[in-house]
């Protein structure tokens, strides 16, 4: 593989591994929360209370599109 193609392949594999770790970590954290007294609505609130503001900042930074 040429250099740029090899770096692209490694970046793709690293992205896949990172996604796998994040998704599996979500399952582990959810199970731990449920076993230690959190309810499903609590977990939903936590998920959106963290992800919402993070994505809002990203959205405000890149704009709403349309020109």
* Tens of pLDDT, residues 16-66: 999 999 999 999 999 999 999 999 999 999 999 999 999 999 898 888 776
Structure confidence at residue 1 (pLDDT): 54
Distance between CA atoms of residues 22 and 18, nearest Å: 6
Q: Note the pLDDT of residue 67.
A: 54
Shortest CA distance to 43 belongs to which of 51, 54, 33?
33
Distance CA 34, CA 40 (A): 7
pTM over 0.85: no
**Per-residue model confidence (pLDDT) at position 5:** 87
Residue 4 vs residue 31, higher pLDDT: 31
């Amino acid at each position: 593989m040429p250099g740029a193609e090899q770096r692209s392949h490694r970046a793709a594999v690293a992205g896949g591994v990172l996604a796998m770790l994040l998704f599996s970590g979500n399952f582990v954290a959810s199970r731990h929360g449920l076993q230690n007294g959190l309810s499903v609505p609590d977990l939903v609130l936590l998920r959106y209370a963290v992800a919402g503001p993070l994505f809002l900042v990203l959205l405000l930074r890149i704009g709403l599109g349309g020109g």
